Amino acid sequence: MMLENYLRARLKMKLPGIIEQNKMSPIPLKDGYLKSIKTDHKIGSILIIFFRKNNNFFFPLIKRSNKLKNHSSQISFPGGRFEEEDINLTNTAIRESNEEIGLKIKKNKILGKLTQIYIPASNYKVSPYIAFYDKIPQFKLNSFEVDKLIEVSLNQILNESSILKKKMKLSSGILVDCPYYFLNGYIVWGATAMILSELCAILKEKF
C-alpha cells in the first residue's frame, strides 16, 4: 500500500516534467514545446500498471506487433488513441489496457497522471496515467497488437546501470546518440523512456 498511497499523493503535486523527460529524449525539448505542436495532432493515453509480486513491485511493458502502423515492434506501455465513446483520456487508458493485455483496471485504482508528452513520429500528444492492480495479473494478450509482455521491476528502473546510450535513427532519418533503458534484454527508448524518466524521478524522492 505504501507505493500506491505515495503515488496517489505525489501525482497531485507539481511534477518534474520536461526536466526529467529531457534526460531520456533523443532530441532536447524546449519549455512550452507542447504549445507549438501541430494543430492536427491526435490524442491518446497510456497506463503504467503497478502490481506486487514476490515482495517487489512490477509493471508491464509490451512489445508492439509488427502488424501495427505506428511504432511497430517497439517497446511501450499499454495504451492508444482516444475514441469519442471514451469521454476522457482516463477511460482511454483503461479501455486500451483491457484490449491489449486483458486487464480490467478499476477507476478508483487510477492514481493520477504524469506530464503529457508529444510524439512527432506519429503526431500524438499522450497522457501517461498510473494505476495500481491489487492482484498478481493474469495477462491475456491481443495477438494482433502485442507480440510479447515484459514484466519490469521497480528495482530495475531505479538502477542507474539500466541506462545506456547508442546511435539510433529517428523517423526523420537523423542519426542521434540516444539514451535508453536496457530492461530484460530489450531497448526502451523514445517517448516510453522519457515517461519512465519522470516516473523514476518522483519514485527516487521516496524509494
For 160-177, write each residue's pLDDT tens digit: 999 999 998 887 788 889
Spatial distance between the Cα atoms of 173 and 192, rounded to a whole number of angstroms? 20
- Say how many domains are in the chain: 1
CB-based contact 124:115 (threshold 8 Å): no
Q: Region 5-23: what's the mean pLDDT?
A: 97
Check which CATH number belongs to the domain holding 112 and give it. Answer: 3.90.79.10
Spatial distance between the Cα atoms of 91 and 108, rounded to a whole number of angstroms? 12
For 77-94, write each residue's pLDDT tens digit: 999 999 999 999 999 999
pLDDT at 72: 55
| Sequence-distant (≥ 6) Cβ neighbours of residue 197 within 8 angstroms | 20, 21, 23, 24
pLDDT at 84: 93
Q: Which residues constitute the domain of residue 131?
A: 2-31+39-204
Can you give the pTM of this predicted structure?
0.94
Look at residue 27 and tell me whether its pLDDT is greater than 90: no
Q: How many residues does the chain have?
A: 207
User: Could you give phi then psi for residue 75, rounded to 5 degrees?
Assistant: -95, 130
Query: Could you give the 3-state DSSP secondary structure of residue 188?
Result: strand
